[in-house]
Amino acid sequence: MPKDRSRRYHDRVARRYDAIYDDPYWAFHDELTWRLIKPHLPRDLSSACLDLGTGTGANVRYLTGCLPIRPEWLLVDDDPQLIEEASRNWASGLVRRVDLAEEIHSAALGIFAGRELVTASAPLDRVSDRPLRALADKCRQVSATVLFALTYDGEIRCVPEEPEDDAIRDLVNSHQRRDKGFGPALGPAAAGVAERCFADLGYHVEREATPWVLAPDKQGGVVAAAGGSSELQRQLIEGWAEAAADVAPEELPSIDRWRTRRLAHVTANRSRLTVGHADVAAWLPRRPT
């Protein structure tokens, strides 16, 4: 599939991640990651923070409620439509369209200058090894604390099971490794590579598993703000089928049959999906005073 089409698919799927922030289930992740990183967060009201690949700004809206202060945010993305939406959603910070690949590889600090906290949600699996190492180096140059959330780790588990589940997962993971503007993407390996990149630069790094568990609506789980868990499940199943068909168009009849059966499970309110993700938090050890 052409690179531009692959990127458009990724950006469209990324919009579905926004629903996760509006659900009480997210308090679970709050406990997992924030208990580790809170002592290393900026505490000065003049602190400058940067959100990479901000999309619609959902990550910053969530983080604002967790930080002990209200710092100055810069939200950046390379998608003009997402930036326009983020500008509407986020009136108390700067929102800017930038070429992320250019900023990461530039010799100048650019958008990283003076940033004490660098965050991102779900963009790591779209980059390759080289830009991820360049990103880690930029963060190290400004001694920024880092929090990268919701990096897909390759796990998809479906209940009830269908015979094609494993094959569809493998095709989706193959799709995740395609070029999305930063070279061949790391896909499910991204969180592990990020952990090594920051550790190599002297960071203390913690990686936590933060899976989505989308249960039938009547059983709770992650419930999207618009339409409940069933709607988010439908969106994911349709997205996985689309990705699988892009990788293996000759398997389209089998993929369509899988999609039909999986959607029927959702309609019958018996579908449970687990989608593996990881959070990566990194900070520099404090120097003795």
* 260 burial via Cβ count (<10 Å: 0-12, 13-18, 19+): exposed
Q: Which pLDDT score is estimated for 68?
A: 66
Q: Which pLDDT score is estimated for 41?
A: 72
Residue 153 lies in a domain: yes
Domain with 22 in it? 3-283
Residue 130 lies in a domain: yes
Kindly report which listed range (79-93, 203-217, 236-250, 263-277) carries the lowest average pLDDT score: 79-93
CATH number of the structural domain spanning residue 268: 3.40.50.150
Which pair of structure tokens corresponds to residue 121? 């949600």
Question: What is the pLDDT averaged over residues 209-230?
Answer: 65
Q: Which pLDDT score is estimated for 125?
A: 84
Note the pLDDT tens digit of each residue in 123-182.
788 889 999 999 999 999 999 999 998 899 999 999 999 999 999 999 999 999 998 878
Which pair of structure tokens corresponds to residue 282? 């990194």
Q: Which pLDDT score is estimated for 287?
A: 56
Residue 274 lies in a domain: yes
CA separation for the pair 246, 4 (Å, rounded): 13
Residue 289 lies in a domain: no
Q: Which pLDDT score is estimated for 192?
A: 95
Note the pLDDT tens digit of each residue in 69-120.
677 889 999 888 888 888 888 766 789 999 988 999 999 999 999 999 999 9
Question: Quick one: CA torsion of 6, 7, 8, 9, rounded to 10 degrees?
Answer: 50
Please give the residue that has the higher pLDDT: either 56 or 19.
56
**Contacts made by residues 160-167, CB under 8 angstroms, sequence distance 24+:** 160/265, 160/270, 160/271, 162/258, 162/261, 162/262, 164/254, 164/255, 164/257, 164/258, 165/258, 167/251, 167/254
Q: Which pLDDT score is estimated for 222?
A: 44
* pLDDT over 70 percentage in the chain: 79
Q: Is residue 288 over pLDDT 60?
A: no
At 33, the pLDDT band (50, 70, 90 cuts) reads: low
Kindly report which listed range (67-71, 183-187, 189-193) carries the lowest average pLDDT score: 67-71
Q: Which pLDDT score is estimated for 269?
A: 94
Residue 91 lies in a domain: yes
Which pair of structure tokens corresponds to residue 268? 């019958």
Q: Which pLDDT score is estimated for 16?
A: 55
Q: Total structural domains in the chain? A: 1
| pTM greater than the 0.85 cutoff | no
**Packed helices 129-141 and 190-200: angle between N→C axes, nearest 10 degrees:** 40
Q: Which pLDDT score is estimated for 271?
A: 96
Residue 288 lies in a domain: no
Kindly report which listed range (191-195, 217-221, 222-226) carries the lowest average pLDDT score: 222-226
Mean pLDDT score of the chain, rounded to an integer?
Answer: 83
Q: Which pLDDT score is estimated for 14?
A: 54
